[in-house]
Amino acid sequence: MDGMISELRGSLGEAGVLLDAERMEGYLVDQRDLVRGRAAAILRPSSTEQVQAIMRLASRYGVGIVPQAGNTSYCAGATPDTSGRQMVLSLERLNKVRSVDPLDAALSVDSGVILQHAQDAADAAGLMLPISLGSEGSCRIGGIIGTNAGGLSVLRYGMTRDLILGLEVVLPDGSLVNDMKRLRKNNTGYDIKQNFVGAEGTLGIVTGAVLKMIPKPTHHATAWVCLAEDVPLPEMLALVRRETGDLVSSFELITPRSLALVAPPDGPLKSGSGGVVLVELACSSSRIPVVEVMEGVMGDVFEAGWAEDVMIAQSDAQRADMWRLRETIPEGEKHHGGSVKHDISVPIGRTVEFLKVGGAAVAAYDPTLELSVYGHIGDGNLHYNLLVPKGDDRLRFTDRIGRELAPQLYDIAAGMGGSFSAEHGVGRLKRRLLQHYADPNRYRVLRGLKGLFDPLDVMNPGAMVDPATGLSGQE
């Protein structure tokens, strides 16, 4: 290890290798303070060539490298294990916007660029990078690619995977796959780059990306829909999409308990008996009267008996107030004392059914538990969280729910054709869930792919899957 560290110092310089405990601390714990690891060093390369040098050494010395971008994972995907033998590779110094190409609507960036800075670069060119997340001020491009992040507008623009035109990736042996093209069409064999999207740094290290942009939406209509009881939300979504000419960019559910965590009781934005849906239309043309379109469709929603009240934002400030409430719910949960997060995905048509059956399971387990449910119901993703009861120990509660109740919720989702992880990934915390719920042949191929790319298991060892030899997945 000492030999590797002195070679690393030679290639990265002093600023590129952190060894003292105080400076290492922030890289060793996940953002929710659930998992704490140790590391032999924190590496901070400032170029793709330095990342290549690191991986060559890691392969030679057999040292595990844990890539870390903004360190905002909910599954400890970027936290080293406790052996003290792994090294964290922080992408934070790979932070240049490489080019903005308006005619190709393509944005080329280093993987350590903060999402918001990438959004700003697109905005300055009159375009938009359509990935929107609560953590956009601190998460980095490499992390959103590694986790195939979703967020608030997936129903219109897709997951991160759908926005990737090109990638630059350092393989475990230090060689470089340069596929930084900005082509929309390129049918020339396997789409290798997609293997690295959602791979959580277990196959290679993404150092650069070309991302799709879209014409900047300059006109919005945002509605705060106070729901009646038992609204068939999938039908409502279908109607709103159809009647707006598919201009819907967000369709977010907020249940009353989640809203109460963040909304002042005397504030203007209230819940309906069935909670709230925040609907947004986005459009880049002034020729389309989005607010009138929204008013018309909300009339239909009323007529169907689905809304008790609807407020359409009359100003940017009102729109921002609505979004602030939605986006600060995770913060509100933290402030309450924490929550156990379940990032459930089910087919859109079964979301309401999941809410009913899941709610019944929680009530049967312990009727005093409080659910905070919200999220991207427009794409089938529910943040189905349990609030830590006052006075209970957060870690003990998390452990108990993980053992006793979460399996029931995941089984219900799986029985509906759903998933235990919609957009938060697998990391170190959900490895066993992956093994349990994945189709056995899919799991076998996952392990085979890991073994093919990373036979020495130096790429984020311990996250997601262990390698196996050959696509047949034999040990």
98: helix, strand or coil: strand
Q: Give the contact letters, 133-162, x = binds to ligand MLT (CB under 6 A), - = no.
A: -x----------------------------
The least distance separating ligand MLT from the CB of residue 275, rounded to whole angstroms, comes to 15
> How far apart, in Å, do the first and last CA atoms of the chain sit?
28
Question: Minimal CA–CA distance to 294: which of 311, 273, 269, 274?
Answer: 311
- Return the structure tokens found at 261: 């965590």
Please, what is the minimum distance in Å from the beta carbon of residue 323 to ligand MLT? 11
Q: Which is nearer to ligand MLT, 57 or 276 (CB)?
A: 276
Residue number of the CB closest to ligand MLT reads: 330
- The residues in 76-135 that bind ligand MLT, with binding defined as CB under 6 A, are 134
Q: Considering the rule CB under 6 A, would residue 341 count as an interface residue with ligand MLT?
A: yes
- Residue 220 or 341 with smaller CB distance to ligand MLT: 341
Task: CB nearer to ligand MLT: give 383 or 450.
Answer: 383
Q: Does 32 bind ligand MLT (CB under 6 A)?
A: no
* Burial readout 202-241 (b: 16 or more C-beta within 10 A, e: otherwise): bbbbbbbbbbbbbeebebbbbbbbbbbeebebbebbebbb
Q: Which is nearer to ligand MLT, 208 or 380 (CB)?
A: 380
Q: Which residue has the tokens 């979703």?
A: 150
Cα–Cα distance, 74 to 193 (Å, whole number): 24
> In the chain, count of helices (H) and strands (E)?
16, 19
Number of residues that bind ligand MLT (CB under 6 A): 5
Q: Tell whether residue 257 is a contact of ligand MLT (CB under 6 A).
A: no
b/e map 85-123, b = 16+ CB within 10 Å: bbbbbbbbbbbebeebeeebbbbbbbbbbbbbbbbebbe
Cβ–Cβ < 8 Å for 470, 446: no
Helix (H) or strand (E) holding 214: strand 214-215
C-beta of 208 vs 375, nearer to ligand MLT:
375
Q: For residues 387 and 334, is the Cβ–Cβ distance under 8 A? A: no
Q: Which is nearer to ligand MLT, 48 or 381 (CB)?
A: 381
> What element of type H or E holds 286?
none
With CB under 6 A as the contact rule, the residue among 112, 272, 330, 448 that binds ligand MLT is: 330
Min separation Cβ 343 and ligand MLT, Å: 7
Pairwise CA distance, residues 171 & 90, whole Å: 16
Residue window 362-401: x/- pattern of binding to ligand MLT, with contact defined by CB under 6 A = -------------x-------x------------------
Q: For the CB of residue 74, give the shortest distance to ligand MLT in the complex, in Å.
A: 6
> Shortest distance, CB of residue 188 to ligand MLT, whole angstroms?
35
Q: Pick the closer one to ligand MLT by CB: 139 or 163.
A: 139
Question: At its nearest, how many Å lie between ligand MLT and the CB of residue 104?
Answer: 30
Residue 470 CA to residue 475 CA, distance in Å, equals 9
Name the minimum Å distance from CB 25 to ligand MLT.
Answer: 23
Taking the least distance from each CB to ligand MLT, the nearer of 383 and 428 is 383
Inter-axis angle of helices 290-303 and 233-243, to 10 degrees? 140
Q: How far apart are CA 259 and CA 12, in angstroms?
A: 48
Min CB(19)–ligand MLT separation in Å: 32
Q: How far is the CB of 330 from ligand MLT (least distance, A)?
A: 4
Name which of 198 and 330 has its Cβ closer to ligand MLT: 330
Residues binding ligand MLT (CB under 6 A): 134, 330, 341, 375, 383
